[in-house]
Amino acid sequence: MDTSELHARGLRRRQKMFGEAEVEKRMTAAGEFGAPLQNIINAYVYGDIWERPGLSADVRSLVMLGITAASNKPAEFRVHAKGALANGCSREQVQDVLLLVAMYCGVPAAIETTRIAAEVFGEAPPGDAARP
């Protein structure tokens, strides 16, 4: 498969997970300077890796939530939490991932992402008002 096909496939996957408007916003956030990175993300992250047959989309989403929580990337966690919903992940699955993160990576790694997950699942008000 050539790069343009991977890019198109990845763009479709991203839009399905996050919505067209959100993908467009992320793709244009850094203007022309960021275009090469966005091409890599579309082609290789979503067009190749996310389309591999070994894991289902919901499992990939749960893995991404664990990675982004454990590595203290709350902005990316928020994006992937919304994608996890689109991929059919349940509240309980996300909660269990965050409990694993707390146990294996430390409670501080799970505090912010638990608040974000509660917000995404409609169980907490948006923003700083919900901080523990």
What are the pLDDT digits (tens) for 28-78? 999 999 999 999 999 999 999 999 999 999 999 999 999 999 999 999 999
Q: How far is CA 3 from CA 14, 36, 48, 100, 105, in A?
A: 16, 13, 10, 36, 36
Say yes or no: 36 and 12 in one domain: yes
**CB of 86 closer than 8 Å to CB of 17:** yes
Q: What is the pTM of this model?
A: 0.89
The percentage of residues in the chain with a pLDDT greater than 90, rounded to a whole number, is: 90
Residue 120 has pLDDT above 70, yes or no: yes
Say yes or no: 3 and 34 in one domain: yes
Domain residues for the domain of 18 are 1-52
Quick one: DSSP state of residue 102? H
Say yes or no: 59 and 113 in one domain: yes
Say yes or no: 47 and 95 in one domain: no
In sequence order, the 6+-apart residues with CB closer than 8 A to the CB of 45 are 10
Say yes or no: 45 and 66 in one domain: no
Domains held by the chain: number: 2
Say yes or no: 17 and 40 in one domain: yes
Say yes or no: 35 and 97 in one domain: no
* pLDDT recorded at residue 128: 53
- How large is the average pLDDT for residues 75-87? 96
Helix (H) or strand (E) holding 93: helix 91-105
Say yes or no: 19 and 75 in one domain: no
Distance, CA of 124 to CA of 132 (rounded, Å): 11
Say yes or no: 63 and 108 in one domain: yes
